[in-house]
Amino acid sequence: MAVLADEDRRRVWAHAMRMWSTFGLGAIPVVKADLRAAVDATDTWIDNNQASYNQALTQPFRGSASAAQKTLLLCFVAMRRVGLSMLRTEEDG
């Protein structure tokens, strides 16, 4: 997967500004320009580290899953790590 287009990065930035407090994370600790730079850096990091992430995945998932499925798995794990309630599962009770 390629890096996001500038407009998509802008949309992530705008969404983060609107939703940050919704997720119970408090106020954004930086100014808007710094958050936008963080969005850009995150997208670039994902692009630069795709091969390493893919190599870390075990078979047969690595060979069978699409790039979108692998990315979504990374997102699910990251969201669970910060305790987002939107990722509540049936197993949580």
Could you report the per-residue pLDDT of 1-59, keeping only the tens digit for each?
Answer: 789 999 999 999 999 888 887 777 778 889 999 999 999 999 999 999 999 999 999 99
Clarify whether residues 31 and 64 are in a common domain.
no
**Same structural domain, 22 and 42:** yes
Same domain, 41 and 2: yes
User: What is the C-alpha to C-alpha distance for residues 44 and 2, in angstroms, rounded to an integer?
Assistant: 9
* 86, pLDDT greater than 70: no
Q: How many domains does the chain have?
A: 2
Question: Does 39 map to a domain?
Answer: yes
Q: Do 44 and 65 reside in the same domain of the chain? A: no
CA–CA distances in Å: residue 73 to residues 10, 77, 88: 23, 6, 15
Structural domain containing residue 18? 1-48
- Tokens standing for residue 37: 């730079």
- pLDDT-derived band at 91 (thresholds 50, 70, 90) equals confident
Check if the beta carbon of residue 73 is closer than 8 Å to that of residue 65.
yes
Is 53 contained in some domain? no
Which candidate, 23, 15, 11, places its Cα nearest to that of 82?
Answer: 23
Q: Taking the model in full, what pTM does it have? A: 0.83
Residues 16/28, Cβ–Cβ less than 8 Å: yes
**Residue 93 confidence (pLDDT) above 90:** no
